[in-house]
Structure 1
């Protein structure tokens, strides 16, 4: 079935208060416990209601069925159309997406988020570990890029769309929705002063 991802925003100190060996189980319980749903069409936030569990929230990205494949395909589409995007939008989205999920698109684009590397000391199988101190900068990139997403419609349609393709991120609308979901995640994490993790599943 391939690699899946479960996205959480977390209160970083609450996770780090646990022993390193216990953090993987803690995050797994958070992702697949009370707030988990096996509804493949689920979209949006799920928040725990049990006492003492107010340190995390789970976000289900729309139209992904929990798969990591849309992240790959979003990057693939971006590679094909980014040279035709407005330079400011291109610069913002190169950085926004590199730090969140493309990790290494710099080899293709020559641009990275420029955030310093910080190895995650949590003993967990993470596809993404974004500490809270990085989140305000990422959210600021999103706030600048979001109002200009529509300017990407024409370059996407001309250079990246796959008409009639029922696969991942084949239309501009699916591309914009995907970025908007990540924008919602970073915005809420910034509001709470939390970090972001993506668990491999």
Structure 2
């Protein structure tokens, strides 16, 4: 299946309080311990039993089977029609997408999230490392995108829809974005950060 991703929102100080060599094990235990399910069709939040372990939540994306491929292909589909989108909406969605799964296309498109450069300081194999101070910025981009998301339907259908593979329809594209929005808004509500473990 290729690269997989497990997405967690975490109480940042709790993770950083762990010894540097123990942080990856702490995150892996959170992703694959009490809150984990091997149901490939699982969707939504899984939480540890409070109160002792109430420092993280795990989110399963719908129709992803745990794979990173839908995230990659959502970015690819977005590239196919982003130039046709009204500039204000395009800019906000560029930033939201880039911060979470698009990554690194600033070299070819001239756009990116413009988040403060914060290299990962944790010794862990992560696809996403999003400190708590980045989360409100990402959530703000989503709040600008959400009311206008449906206006992208026809553009996606005409320029980015494909008959097979991952993220083939506007609905699947919108579902992935909405799932990311649930992760971001819950992390913002709690003042937590977001990590995506490579698996």
Shorter-chain TM-score: what band? over 0.9
The residue aligned with 1:63 is 63
The 3-state SS of whatever aligns with 1:198 is: strand
Unaligned runs of 5+ in 2: none
The residue aligned with 1:77 is 77
Structure 1 residue 182 corresponds to structure 2 residue 180: yes
- C-alpha displacement of 1:124: 0.4
Indicate the RMSD between aligned Cα atoms, in angstroms: 0.9
The residue aligned with 2:5 is 5
Structure 1 residue 144 corresponds to structure 2 residue 144: yes
Match runs of 1:73-152 below 5 Å: 73-152=73-152
Distance 2:89 2:105 in 1: 16
TM-score (norm 2): 0.98
The residue aligned with 1:196 is 194
- C-alpha displacement of 1:109: 2.1
Figure out how many residues of one structure are paired with residues of the other and give that number. 199
Deviations 1:55-99 (A, max 9, x none): 000000100000000111001101101011121111001001111
Deviates more, 1:136-145 or 1:49-58: 49-58
Deviates more, 1:98-107 or 1:122-131: 98-107
CA contact (8 A) 1:85 1:151 kept: no
Deviations 1:143-184 (A, max 9, x none): 11011110100110111001x32x100000000000000001
- C-alpha displacement of 1:50: 4.9
Distance 2:148 2:159 in 1: 18
TM-score (norm 1): 0.97
